[in-house]
């Protein structure tokens, strides 16, 4: 999905890209909900759905903006700080007992961010300024997405996956309709299949991950997320001609190392 959005990013801004993602996702979400007919959220749960929607919007607009400014592998590497932040939020909001490795994990994650940021600060040219803006956007996306994940864990105990999928697509479309219209770029007919693909990939990804977490322990599923760096590096090279730098690779290793520490028992 990231690579597909990055392809569209040459012609549309982050706000319109986010609208595309949710509008296309809504087509699949409505069809699946209509088939399974899962109940809508109870009245008292809508406030949490609205909060999750707001966090998800900030996260995706920020992340899609980062994709327009950063190499694909670098943006994906920065997104790996989200699991570290989820652990901190879970301690605070869900009263979960933290792993004793959490503080070392956070140090490794921050070191990974510093490694990818340092070369851009040293160069100080226009390209570096754009990269720094992209890294800041990716960091904001990771921070807000950690809130999305914590709320998702809470909501999964109350609502069906088909209901969550429906709400988290339709609410953002309603919220984004007016803001996206301000800078709206006409949609090229040739881009319509790509936009549909964004929605399909987002839907399949969410359903596959949810299925995995309901059939396997989280400690066995979570490390597989980090194989996405391999896909990002391969797609970045094949589609965009991007070669991951040594600092990007080192950054990814440090951040992933910190996340894997959280899985220790």
DSSP of the chain, one letter per residue? -HHHHHHHTTTS-HHHHHHHHHHHHHHHHHHHHHHH-PPPPPGGGHHHHHHHHHHHHHHHHHHHHHHHHS-HHHHHHHHTTHHHHHHHHHHHHS-PPPPTTHHHHHHHHHHHHHHHHHHHHHH-SHHHHHHHHHHHHHHHHHHHHHHHHHHHHHHHTTS-HHHHHHHHHHHHHHHHHHHHHHTPPPPPGGGHHHHHHHHHHHHHHHHHHHHHHHHS-HHHHGGGGGGHHHHHHHHHHHHH-----HHHHHHHHHHHHHHHHTT--
Residue 152 pLDDT: 73
As a whole number of angstroms, the distance between CA 259 and CA 128 comes to 27
Residue 60 pLDDT: 94
Residue 95 pLDDT: 65
Tokens of 137: 């956007």
Would you write out the chain's pLDDT as a tens digit for each of its 265 residues? 999 999 999 999 999 999 999 999 999 999 999 999 999 988 888 888 899 899 999 999 999 999 999 999 899 888 888 777 777 776 666 666 666 777 787 788 788 888 887 887 777 777 788 889 999 999 999 889 888 877 776 777 778 889 988 998 999 999 998 888 888 999 999 999 999 999 999 999 888 877 776 676 655 666 677 788 888 999 999 999 999 888 888 988 888 888 777 766 5
Residue 254 contacts residue 115 (beta carbons within 8 Å): yes
Residue 88 pLDDT: 73
pTM: 0.85
Residue 59 contacts residue 151 (beta carbons within 8 Å): no
- Name every residue whose Cβ is closer than 8 Å to that of residue 91 and which is 6 or more positions away in sequence: 98, 102
N-term to C-term CA, the chain: 33
Residue 104 pLDDT: 81
- Name every residue whose Cβ is closer than 8 Å to that of residue 68 and which is 6 or more positions away in sequence: 6, 9, 10, 13, 14, 134
Q: What are phi and psi of 71, to 5 degrees?
A: -60, 150
Nearest CA to 80 among 129, 16, 149, 1?
149
Residue 75 contacts residue 2 (beta carbons within 8 Å): yes
């Amino acid at each position: 999905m990231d690579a597909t959005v990055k392809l569209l990013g040459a012609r549309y801004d982050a706000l319109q890209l986010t609208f595309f993602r949710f509008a296309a996702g809504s087509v699949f979400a409505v069809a699946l909900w209509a088939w399974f007919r899962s109940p809508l959220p109870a009245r008292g749960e809508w406030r949490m759905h609205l909060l999750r929607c707001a966090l998800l919007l900030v996260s995706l607009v920020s992340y899609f903006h980062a994709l327009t400014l950063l190499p694909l592998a670098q943006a994906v590497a920065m997104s790996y700080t989200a699991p570290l932040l989820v652990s901190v939020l879970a301690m605070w909001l869900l009263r979960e007992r933290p792993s004793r490795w959490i503080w070392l994990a956070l140090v490794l994650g921050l070191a990974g961010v510093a490694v990818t940021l340092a070369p851009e600060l040293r160069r100080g040219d226009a390209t570096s300024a754009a990269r720094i803006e992209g890294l800041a956007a990716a960091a904001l996306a990771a921070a807000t997405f950690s809130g999305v994940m914590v709320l998702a864990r809470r909501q999964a105990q109350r609502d069906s996956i088909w209901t969550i999928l429906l709400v988290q697509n339709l609410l953002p479309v309603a919220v984004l309709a007016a803001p996206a219209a301000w800078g709206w770029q006409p949609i090229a007919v040739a881009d319509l299949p790509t936009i549909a693909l964004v929605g399909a990939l987002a839907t399949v990804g969410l359903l596959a991950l949810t299925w995995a977490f309901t059939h396997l322990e989280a400690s066995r599923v979570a490390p597989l997320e980090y194989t996405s760096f391999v896909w990002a590096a391969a797609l970045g090279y094949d589609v965009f001609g991007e070669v991951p730098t040594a600092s990007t690779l080192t950054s990814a290793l440090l951040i992933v190392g910190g996340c894997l520490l959280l899985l220790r028992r």
